[in-house]
Structure 1
């Protein structure tokens, strides 16, 4: 694989990730910015709260696709492991800091899940299962996402996954962790002061 192809894949991944479907579709449905209410994030769950479940599900599918497509393309041309990892990371970076929405996007979970689905449907299902279990136990989305990002790479290793799956999982955990750290004061309120729960009540 030549350098130009690798760079093209990475730019494409970031552009795909930067498509702010939750912002566009919520604005189309309600005339408001999805980030102005609820959790304050451009996510499928926040879209669901503000624009209804149908729009929220559509956003979820589109956000999954933003991660799936560039990684699928990278794998289809037999890109090296490190290129696949960077492509996956940049798709999530685009979702979290979108070029087309003032660099204020979502938390990256759906797009990260899409990248994993492209690599291994089984790994995707395991990661989804871990997140669902954490959500049921913790009953708090922000906390569950943070813990899942840390736990999932280790679980993948323990069940025998190697290669792209492990490296992509680690890369995604780093991006999602960085997303929380950069917005630490806000995330601190959500993680420990239940701002998210308050937002749900007021939405």
Structure 2
């Protein structure tokens, strides 16, 4: 292959059987160019996770239910900004729209990380930060959703097969557990081990692992609050008359 900005040793009369690595000897790179390239790469590696958080923070379920029904989606059900609660308050159609938008929140920044960086740790961190943004949105008093749809979007950007396996895992858990909240938490935590079993150990695995940790923390934070009642299906005791 032709040499780039380098010295071609063939022109110096050396044998043609020399390895290519010895034929093309790269000239020293301009220090300023090296510095600028390093600066751009470092900036992108820091900027992409921040972008992931900002994308993840877009509280579409809150905005849509307020626009359509003039209510806060977090006032019903589990108290989270989720697709399920949107369906309860605004209807299936609006809930489906929220689902698509929540998936997009994870897909777009993670896809940009794949294309602009390609570093596994940057992709995984961007995906995890998108889920963090969904769970603790800066635009709605840090009260968001559980992050499963956003996790799915991130996996779709990295590895569509990982997304399909994760979706199948969620469906199986919903059928077995018969409780959407429990199934969502279990799915978020189990996606990474399931991908490992399917020999998917690329950036999708690390993205799923990071997102799973975030979802687990999100659940534990809520455990001592209202969510405990929903998780255990407890009913408030009725007051005895008389």
Instruction: Give the TM-score, by structure 2 length.
Output: 0.77
SS at match of 2:71: coil
CA distance in 2, matches of 1:188, 1:7: 36
1:23 aligned to which of 62, 66, 72: 62
Deviation of the 1:151 alpha carbon: 2.2
Alignment-derived partner of residue 8 in structure 2: none
Alignment-derived partner of residue 201 in structure 1: none
Alignment-derived partner of residue 103 in structure 2: 64
Alignment-derived partner of residue 94 in structure 1: 133
Give the aligned CA root-mean-square deviation in angstroms: 1.3
Name stretches of at least 5 consecutive residues in structure 2 with no aligned partner. 1-39, 236-242
User: What are the superposed Cα offsets for residues 98-134 of structure 1, whole Å, 9 maximum, x if unpaired?
Assistant: 0100100001011111001111111101110110111
Q: Is the 8 A contact 1:38 1:50 kept in 2?
A: no
CA distance in 1, matches of 2:223, 2:118: 35
CA distance in 1, matches of 2:190, 2:54: 28
Alignment-derived partner of residue 159 in structure 2: 120
CA distance in 2, matches of 1:157, 1:141: 24
| 1:83 correspondence with 2:122 | yes
| 1:188 correspondence with 2:234 | no
SS at match of 2:155: helix
Alignment-derived partner of residue 199 in structure 1: none
User: What are the superposed Cα offsets for residues 120-172 of structure 1, whole Å, 9 maximum, x if unpaired?
Assistant: 11110111011011101111012112222232211111111112021111111
Which 4+ residue blocks in structure 1 deviate beyond 6 angstroms?
none
Alignment-derived partner of residue 11 in structure 2: none
CA distance in 1, matches of 2:189, 2:141: 28
Q: Is the 8 A contact 2:131 2:147 kept in 1?
A: yes
CA distance in 2, matches of 1:20, 1:173: 20
CA distance in 2, matches of 1:151, 1:101: 28
Alignment-derived partner of residue 137 in structure 1: 176
For the pair shown, which has the larger CA radius of gyration, 1 or 2? 2
Q: Is the 8 A contact 2:44 2:116 kept in 1?
A: no
Deviation of the 1:88 alpha carbon: 0.3
CA distance in 1, matches of 2:131, 2:59: 12
Deviation of the 1:194 alpha carbon: 5.2
Alignment-derived partner of residue 150 in structure 1: 189
2:92 aligned to which of 53, 57, 63: 53
Name stretches of at least 5 consecutive residues in structure 1 with no aligned partner. 196-203
Alignment-derived partner of residue 198 in structure 2: 159
Greater relative contact order structure (CA < 8 Å, 6+ sep): 1
CA distance in 1, matches of 2:93, 2:159: 27
